Amino acid sequence: MNLPQHVRLVEVGPRDGLQNEKQPVSVADKVRLSDDLSAAGLSYIEVGSFVSPKWVPQMAGSAEVFAGIQHTPGVVYAALTPNLKGFEAAASAGVKEVAVFAAASEAFSQKNINCSIAESLERFVPVMEAARAQGISVRGYVSCVLGCPYEGEVAPAQVAAVSRELLAMGCYEVSLGDTIGVGTAGKTRQLFEVVGRDIPRDRLAGHFHDTYGQALANIYASLLEGIAVFDSSIAGLGGCPYAKGATGNVATEDVVYLLNGLGIHTGIDLDKLIAAGQRICEALGKTTSSRVAKAMAG
């Protein structure tokens, strides 16, 4: 299969990345990060999450962030909304696209959100109905698609089943997430081959964590399977709470460098992207996890 000519990156750093930080992150720093990312050419930015600050303290102030960012024409500014209450808060903040998430592993679903996969999907029904009524798009996530910290390997058929449910409910796209980063290129190709039997590949995306250093290899394997949408996080922000010391999300800078080398268009300015990563890392008092940013700085 020929590689896609264009790839869309879904920037999850402001949400999936920052929610793992230990220290508080100011609304001003979150706003600046989103603005820097849109200025670098990102066309899709997951800005925040409308969840209880009791559970995810770093996502407090998401409404203020949405109110403060520069809404660049053509850029999607999305939010994670795990339930109807979160969706209503997001809609009130003017959010035009939201995301919901389920797991491919029963054990992970129980440990993570205290309910079965079927129960978690049932919770999304009122969210989907409200989104449809208000003309708000919904994107779906499936976690633990290539391995679970409690169950081990996860069957691709199970991933396909959960993905079908999300699409049937009204999600326009489903992102398949290697939450603990154990996937390999061969397993990734097998996953998309199986899931792709039932679901058009232009409705699937990849979300890879770099815990074992395999994220870029898995993205290349996905490209070979015709996948053209990937989630990534500026400066590799975000950890993996199930693998101590793991870097977590693949760095957006590294993905753009890979795609540039393959001649695949993203519309993203790598220099501006690296600068954006440096600014947020300075604010957080940490160093970037992007290998490309480190190499180009040194």
Question: Alpha-carbon distance 222 to 216, whole Å?
Answer: 10
Residues ≥6 apart with Cβ < 8 Å to 263: none
| Cβ contact 156:190 at 8 Å | yes
Q: Where are the beta strands (DSSP E) in 117-209?
A: 137-143, 173-178, 204-208
Map residue 65 onto helix, strand or coil: helix
Q: Where are the beta strands (DSSP E) in 144-272?
A: 173-178, 204-208, 229-232
Six-digit token string for 30: 């979150």
Question: Alpha-carbon distance 120 to 104, whole Å?
Answer: 11
**Catalytic residue IDs:** 240
| Through-space distance between the first and last CA atoms of the chain, rounded to whole angstroms | 37
Residues paired with residue 99 on neighbouring β-strands, in sequence order: 80, 139
Closest CA to 76 of 12, 29, 127, 168: 12
Question: Which residue do the tokens 């039932």 mark?
Answer: 198
| Cβ contact 252:33 at 8 Å | no
Closest CA to 131 of 166, 180, 175, 176: 166
Residues ≥6 apart with Cβ < 8 Å to 44: 8, 9, 10, 11, 75, 76, 78
